[in-house]
Amino acid sequence: MKHLTKFGSVPALGLAMLLLCLVVPSGAQAQSFTDDQFADGDWSAQFCPDVPMVMNSSFVAVQDAAAGNGEPSRHVAHTYDARIYLCHLRATAIVAPSQSAIAAIDFALDGQYDQSTNSSASCFAYGALVRQNGVFFQVRPFWQACSGDGWESFNSSLAAADFVRVDQNEEAEVQHPDFSCGGAPIELGFITGNQTGRAQQVREGLTTEAWADNWAARVQPGESCAPLPPPPAPYQCYDILDHSQDLHPGRRVATDQFGEMESRFGHPVALCNPAAVGEEYSEDQSENETHYVCYQTLGRNRDRPRRVVISNAFDQDNELVLGGRDMICLPSSKRVVERAEE
């Protein structure tokens, strides 16, 4: 092999092997929440804030063990003389866009309107709901179950722009939930209403009775919120002058993008330090950073020549011809003992 000189650098192949040691963080996974049981302790319900209603309106929102699209289900009854909305939230269905932004939330819900028990001809309106920073956001138009002939199923893939404030406050600074990186935690649920439209007046004391079942919300991740890894540092490599302490690691199988080969490795031939080229270097961090020790590859380790195109601070789109395997460089720690004699 070609021996290194003092303060020399490792061959290009050795440097390339160093740079391949970087680890890229994996993308975030989708989160899924489902409920087909609707235990009372798992859900909360309230009149949606700032929606017009009269004082004597009331509601029921409880588990119905005897009914459902596969029982049990959530029994919902609205008693009103004006439009009322109920905001239902699943206790543990909370997502925070911290690991990744949210690309979309896929909602699904089954609804059934019992026409025979209702004193109003209006439909059972329902849809996707989220709450962030105390503000409820819904999707328009509502899904509607009107026929009373059985269960109706709806699902939608919804981005942040598809949600609007339940209170319809068009002067508020925030009009849509924040699905971007760093957004506040988002609670998931669904909304129910006795009718659609804007505060349409109806006769006093009417009831809309319905059931909801098979709620699901799947959060699709968007761009990663993890900070980009710092660019790999240049490495400056020093010849090891004293070969009297050969370690002789013996035969090992080494595999890289060009294939697998069993090789015999000899003494260490170079120590490579993190460095800076054309930039200020913080010397006090040197001993805490990863170093590389390069070992000689012995014997016949000649592969067919390969051509590669490299780009870096010194060369742009330069073509190189690779020969055989020359050395292997291992991540190492380093502690300076003393200054060697010149």
Domain boundary among 172, 205, 224: 224
Same domain, 152 and 270: no
Say if 6 falls within a structural domain.
no
Amino acid at 149: D
The model's pLDDT over 239-294, given as tens digits with 9 standing for 90+, comes to: 988 766 656 667 788 888 888 888 888 888 899 988 888 777 766 556 667 899 99
Same domain, 162 and 138: yes
The domain in which residue 218 lies consists of: 31-224
Q: Tokens 């028990």 belong to which residue?
A: 117
Alpha helices in the chain (DSSP H): 12-19
Contact 28, 264 (CB under 8 A): no
How far is C-alpha 104 from the chain's CA centre? 12
What distance separates the 2 farthest-apart alpha carbons in the chain?
Answer: 101
For residue 130, give both structure tokens: 């989220």
HSE of 285, CA atoms in CB hemisphere, 13 A = 9
User: Alpha-carbon distance 141 to 255, whole Å?
Assistant: 58
The model's pLDDT over 284-334, given as tens digits with 9 standing for 90+, comes to: 556 667 899 998 888 766 677 889 998 888 888 889 998 888 888 999 888
How far is C-alpha 312 from the chain's CA centre? 31
User: Alpha-carbon distance 190 to 275, whole Å?
Assistant: 56
User: Alpha-carbon distance 214 to 240, whole Å?
Assistant: 68
For residue 162, give both structure tokens: 């598809």
What pLDDT score does 16 carry?
Answer: 32
Per-residue pLDDT of the chain (342 residues; tens, 9 = 90+): 323 323 233 333 333 333 333 222 333 468 999 999 999 999 999 999 877 665 678 889 999 999 999 999 999 988 877 778 899 999 999 998 887 899 999 999 999 887 665 555 567 888 999 999 999 999 988 888 776 678 888 899 999 999 999 988 999 999 999 999 989 999 999 999 876 443 344 455 677 888 999 999 999 999 888 887 777 788 899 998 876 665 666 778 888 888 888 888 888 889 998 888 877 776 655 666 789 999 888 876 667 788 999 888 888 888 999 888 888 899 988 888 776 555
Contact 89, 131 (CB under 8 A): yes
Say if 337 falls within a structural domain.
no
DSSP-derived letter for residue 284 is G
User: Alpha-carbon distance 57 to 162, whole Å?
Assistant: 29
Say if 220 falls within a structural domain.
yes
Amino acid at 34: T
Residue 97: give its domain's CATH number.
2.60.120.260
Say if 112 falls within a structural domain.
yes
Residues near 161 by beta carbon (within 8 Å), at least 6 away in sequence = 176
Say if 266 falls within a structural domain.
yes
